[in-house]
Amino acid sequence: MQAPVVGVLALQGAFALHVRALERLGSVAVEVRTPPELAGVDGLVLPGGESTTMSKLLDANGLFEPVAERLAEGMPALGTCAGMILLAREVLDGRADQRSFGAVDITVRRNAFGRQVDSFEADLEVAGLPEAPVHAVFIRAPVVEDVGPGVEVLAQVDGGRPVACRQGRVLVTSFHPELSPDLRVHELFLRELAA
């Protein structure tokens, strides 16, 4: 079997380190900016950055509908921070014209971690990664305010706020796993791709 090709949405934000993380794990990773580039990938990483800008650029590049279609067909995806916002069903405190894919049945609120709104770090127990806690970096991170019945919560902070969730083949994190040398969150996603 040919190795899966992993796309990283590269319209804006922290895409370069995702490409590097995937390559370090032995994957073929390609930057995605156009519909033909999307057509060539088996899964997609939606990075952190600015979800309002990415939403606009997805429309401007004719990528919003093609990505939505691939997600509806079951394409595996990993969304981190702004990427989580883009994959959520509902976005609070967004721009009025901000769009999201609704691939994960969660409601997120942008930039809402209370006094820790700018950035903080935490060691997380992540379901499926029992060996050691995952060191997670949060940067103006979204808060998950509501989780639908089909969503599995993989990690929490503050005794119960979800910061990593999975629904079907889509994995989302409030934090930035590409900023840590620990690549196990990317590995979880690649396991989904291989399945």
- CA atoms within 13 A of residue 46's CA, in its CB half-sphere: 33
Please provide the DSSP assignment of 63-97 as one string.
Answer: -HHHHHHHHHTT--EEEETHHHHHHEEEEES--TT
Contact code string over 140-169 relative to ligand GLN, x by CB under 6 A = x-----------------------------
Told to check if 50 binds ligand GLN by CB under 6 A, we report: yes
**Residue 58 carries which DSSP code?**
H
For strand 152-157 and strand 77-80, is the pairing parallel, antiparallel, or unpaired?
Answer: unpaired
Please tell me the total number of residues recorded for the chain in this structure. 195
Active-site residue among 18, 165, 178, 186? 178
For ligand GLN, which stretch binds (CB under 6 A), given 23-31, 63-71, 77-85, 156-164? 77-85
Active-site residue among 176, 186, 187, 192? 176
For ligand GLN, which stretch binds (CB under 6 A), given 1-9, 42-50, 153-161, 165-173? 42-50
The verdict on whether 178 is a catalytic residue reads yes
Told to check if 51 binds ligand GLN by CB under 6 A, we report: yes
> 142-157: buried (b, 16+ CB within 10 Å) or exposed (e) per residue?
bbbeebeeebebbbbb
Which pairs from 59-62 meet CB under 8 Å and 24+ separation? 59/99, 61/11, 61/33, 61/34, 62/34, 62/35
Told to check if 171 binds ligand GLN by CB under 6 A, we report: no
Task: Determine which residue in the list 82, 151, 163, 171 makes contact with ligand GLN, applying CB under 6 A.
Answer: 82
Closest to ligand GLN by CB, 37 vs 50, is 50
Q: How many residues bind ligand GLN (CB under 6 A)?
A: 11
Catalytic residues: 81, 176, 178
Which chain residues interact with ligand GLN by CB under 6 A?
48-51, 81-82, 85, 110-111, 139-140
